[in-house]
Amino acid sequence: MAARADVVFVDGVRTPFGRAGEKGMYWNTRADDLIVKAMIGLLERNPSLPKDRVDDVAIAATTQQGDQGLTLGRTAAILAGLPLSVPGYAIDRMCAGAMTSVTTTAGGIAFGAYDVAIAGGVEHMGRHPMGFGADPNPRFLAEKLVSGDALNMGLTAERLHDRFPALTKERADRFGMRSQQKVAAAYAAGKIQPDLVPVALRSEAGFGLATVDEGLRPDTTMEGLAGLKTPFRPHGRVSAGNASPLTDGATVSLLASADAAKELGLTTKMRLVSFAYAGVAPEVMGIGPIPSTEKALKKAGLTIDDIGAFELNEAFAVQVLSLLDHFGIDDDDPRVNPWGGAIAMGHPLASSGVRLMIQLARQFEERPDVRYGLTAMCVGLGQGGSVIWENPHYTGKKA
């Protein structure tokens, strides 16, 4: 059997993220058109890749129905202009869909079955609300396999506040405010825009172009956050200010073996070191990234102190804070989400994993002093996913 191949992250792009619902910019845009637009942008950015060299396309969606159904990887591949010889499939691991698309195709590359793969995700939460049309088995609740709270993500976040009294609403609000500020600063510095694929829009008012994430609130203040309603529980601690909004958007990445990337003249933005998924009690799903990160670190032979850059999905501020407390990392540690995160940009469920990777890859370019980075997220129904990457630009010296 051939030796394991090194897997590299060649490139990644995404659409701007839009607010879900009738007032959102993608209300009249199909979900499959969002992922197709992202795929076309990715292929255009990598013209040295012969399209027939793509071995597989994995596209994730959480609610696989309507314009997010019909084996999305295959239909999107055809619509994006890939040859009919290129196969594709769909993946669902709720919030970690795109992350799982990456790790699953990466496994194929490492095994030697693939040279090149496309992996991503899309979620149109306006057209397809989370869990819409699902029919959970009544045994989940009748036999107390899971708590009733487990099917409401906001209540799982409230339970983390209950379990860890140190995770106060004030800390969560401050983390949410800082996320907004950091995203605004990143946009002002031109950090985000290079990896956005503009999307043409149409509405009753006419035509337009989506070029920026729609849900940004850079003027957020602690005073304003303190007055927000807590919709999941009276006098609760989870609000719209310290949680990610409902969002529409798509992300896609190009992966290859190191040898294929060299042969085809493709860039290497990151090298995959290890990945892991873990399960936890569904009613406290937000702690999922803790055991998955511990597993990924162990597989890589690393410790948390080896990680120089963190991209953690901000489904809820309390979820990120629980991981930081577990590993003894300060709320304002500059290694953590330096360009902000999902509280400001949005969290289109199955697409968010690749957004984390896109931002980490950009940071690696600027940080030759950082060798390893982590992308991690909590996952509905009690899971966590973590991927550790190595910086190919690493020199050990400050930029």
| Catalytic residue ranges | 95, 347, 378
∠ CA 93-54-272, rounded to 5°: 55
DSSP 183-231: HHHHHHTTSSGGGB--EEEEETTEEEEE-S-TT--TT--HHHHHTS--T
Is the distance from CB of 297 to CB of 372 less than 8 angstroms? no
Q: How far, in Å, CA of 292 to CA of 309, rounded?
A: 17
Residue 44, C-beta contacts closer than 8 angstroms, at least 6 positions apart: none
Is the distance from CB of 225 to CB of 177 less than 8 angstroms? yes
Is the distance from CB of 349 to CB of 130 less than 8 angstroms? yes
For residue 41, CA distances in Å to 56, 137, 269, 287, 390 come to: 17, 40, 17, 35, 25
Is the distance from CB of 287 to CB of 280 less than 8 angstroms? yes
Rounded to the nearest 10 degrees, how much is the dihedral formed by the CA atoms of 360, 63, 175, 103? Answer: -30
Joined together, the tokens standing for residue 58 give 């994995």
* Residue 144 zone, left/alpha/beta (φ > 0; ψ -120 to 50; rest): left
258 sits in which H/E element: helix 258-264
Which 3-state string (H, E, C) describes 154-195?
Answer: HHHHHHHHHHCCCCCHHHHHHHHHHHHHHHHHHHHCCCCHHH
Residue 135, C-beta contacts closer than 8 angstroms, at least 6 positions apart: none
Residue with tokens 């009544």: 138
